[in-house]
Structure 1
Amino acid sequence: MSKVVLITGGSSGIGKSIGEYLGTKNYTVFGTSRNPEKIENHPFPLVALDVTKPETISACITEVLDKKGRIDVLVNNAGAGITGPIEEIPGEEIKRNFEINFFGPINVIKGILPQMRKQQSGLIINITSIAGYMGLPYRGVYSASKGALELITEAFRMEIKDFGIEMTNVAPGDFATNIAAGRYHAPVLEGSPYEKVYGETLKTMDAHVDEGGDPMDVAKMIVKIIETDKPKIHYKVGAFMQKFSVVLKRILPDKVYEKLLRKHYGL
């Protein structure tokens, strides 16, 4: 029987690539979008869901269960980028980013666990980021929200293991998607002490995304995880140096690693 996969944030970018690839592998795929009615000719069905609104989560899960009777895999992909000097990012934007990137996935997990427990099986894959392994300058809020999701997954998976449910993280590096266009950018303020360096760093970050890898690489990793019996806790997908940066952080003295990051961002 074809496994049923629910992908949050499945209308574009990495989520869309995951859904398209799973469809070629005979999985039954449902994606989510805040406004699915506005999206035409999508390669797989989209269900309305806003991770910041628990009532839409319940309605989405119910709709998929009514159609297919089960949900075997949840890919927690919905997320939002945010950039800026932490001092200058409005507090409400920091909170909103955590609502989407951290509390949102937790809400979806809470919504789906009763069904997976009933099935005595299930797999939850949280899409985080390599940025979640380190505090990146002018991406600190994003790093923090994704890092928090990485850590809570470590705890969550131990709590649900006895129910026959697996949970893991997939941390992508930079991929060529529309995330740069959709994320919150704190404005480059004229006269700000961060004006010059933040402006230059912003250009660098956007270039990294534009020159990023094929999001289909993430999709292939998702299939590999679904088809393994015992998923690892953490997976990383991206360019060699992006993945290696996580290893370097683990082995280098803190200040040496910080110096490397500052040099990389031209600080």
Structure 2
Amino acid sequence: MKKVILVTGASSGLGLAMANALSVKGYQVYGTGRDITQMKNVSFTPLEMDVINDVSVNASVRQIIAAEGQIDVLINNAGNGIAGPLYTVPVAIAKVQFEVNFFGLVRVCSAVLPWMIKEKKGLVINIGSLAGLFGLPYQGLYSASKFAVEGYSQSLRMELQNTGIKVSVINPGDFKTNFTSSRVKMPFILNNELLEKEFEAAIAIMEEDERIGSDPVNLAGLVCKIVAQSNPSYNYSAGKFEQTIVPALKTILPESVFSKLMNGHYGIK
């Protein structure tokens, strides 16, 4: 029987690439989005789901179970980005960032995992970020939400050790997607010319890194390999080599040196 795969955030970008690639491989793939009218000419089954809404998530999962009887693989990909100064960000905005990137993931896991536990098998792939392994200036909320995904996933692995369910995290670097254009950029509200200049420089550099980033097809290929494995690894990095080696550098460099290197890259001298 074909594996049944649920991919959240499949209306564009990485999620769309993953869902299409998995479907081409012959899996029964359900790709979710808040507006399925955006999913045209796709090879998978579009499914409406809003990951910040309990009713929507539970209804969508039940719909798949009713049709297929199981969900073998869950890929938590839905996410968004907010850029801005941490020193002025309203708590309400921080909550928006976490609601999608972290609590949305938790919500979908809580809806799917009881079914996997009942079947004593399954695979959860959480899409984290390299920014969830080290902080980035003016992307602090995004980094924090992805750090939370990493911690949640580590604990989830421990809890599911004896259930037959595997948990993996993929930490992508910069990819060429519409994530750049859809990022919410908070206004700079302080009367501080130096900090404002650094803020604008950091935003410009992060957008350029994404513009020349890796092709989403590469990440989709990695996901297909992971799904095909009987015992996948816990953590994977994806993207350009110069980005994927950064977590290793963080472990061997003094914090002051590492921070200086990161700030230098983002135009903060």
What range is the shorter-chain TM-score in?
over 0.9
| Partner residue, 1:201 | 202
Asked if the contact 1:81/1:97 (under 8 Å) is kept, the reply is: yes
Asked whether 1:129 is paired with 2:122, we answer: no
Give, in angstroms, the shift of residue 43 of structure 1. 3.1
- The answer for the alignment partner of 1:43 in structure 2 is 43
Checking the alignment, whether the CA contact within 8 Å between 2:82 and 2:142 is kept in structure 1 is: yes
2:18 aligned with 1:15 = no
1:41 deviates by: 3.0
What's the secondary structure of 1:231's corresponding residue? Answer: coil
Name the TM-score, length of structure 2 as normaliser.
0.96
In the alignment of these two chains, the number of paired residues is: 267
Distance in 1 of aligned mates of 2:192 and 2:221: 43
For structure 1, the 5+ residue unaligned runs are: none
Q: What does 1:48-87 align with in structure 2 at a 5 Å threshold?
A: 48-87=48-87
Matches within 5 A, 1:53-202: 53-189=53-189, 191-193=191-193, 194-202=195-203
2 CA distance for matches of 1:61 and 1:192? 49
- Give the root-mean-square deviation of aligned CA atoms: 1.3
CA contact (8 A) 1:175 1:238 kept: yes
Letter matched to residue 120 of structure 1:
K
Determine helix, strand or coil for the equivalent of 2:87: helix
Q: Match for residue 212 of structure 1?
A: 213
Between 111-120 and 35-44, report the one with greater CA deviation: 35-44
Distance across 2 between alignment mates of 1:221 and 1:54: 30
Aligned-pair CA distance for 1:69: 1.3
Gaps of 5+ in 2: none
1:190 Cα deviation after fit = 7.5
Given that 1:88 and 1:186 are in contact with CA atoms closer than 8 Å, whether structure 2 keeps it comes out as no
Structure 1 CA distance for aligned equivalents of residues 189 and 204 of structure 2: 15
When structure 1 is superposed on structure 2, of 27-36 and 85-94 the one drifting more is 85-94
Shift in Å at residue 42 of structure 1? 3.1
Q: Deviations over 1:26-78 (max 9, x none)?
A: 11110001121454333322111111111111101011111211110000000
Output one character per residue of 1:124-162: Cα deviation in whole Å (capped at 9) or x when no partner.
Answer: 000010011111100111111001101110111110121
Give the counterpart letter for 1:99 in structure 2.
E
Q: Give the aligned partner of residue 264 of structure 2.
A: 263
CA distance in 2, matches of 1:254, 1:201: 20
Q: Among the aligned pairs, what percent are the same residue?
A: 40
Q: Distance in 2 between matches of 1:192 and 1:57?
A: 44
Partner of 2:244: 243
Would you say the 8 A contact 1:85–1:186 is kept in 2? yes
What is the SS of the residue equivalent to 1:162?
A: coil
The alpha-carbon deviation at position 230 of structure 1 amounts to: 1.5
1:253 aligns with 2:260: no
Q: Which residue of 1 aligns with 2:224?
A: 223
When normalised by structure 1's length, the TM-score is 0.96
1:107 and 1:39 map into 2 onto residues whose CA distance is: 23
Could you give the per-residue CA deviations for residues 197-249 of structure 1, whole angstroms, max 9, x where no partner exists? Answer: 11111111111111111011111111111112222111100111111111000
Give per-residue Cα distances to partners, 1:86-137, cap 9 Å, x unaligned.
1222221111111111111011111101110111110000001001111110
For the residue of structure 2 that corresponds to 1:46, the secondary structure is strand
Quote the offset at 1:184 in angstroms: 1.4
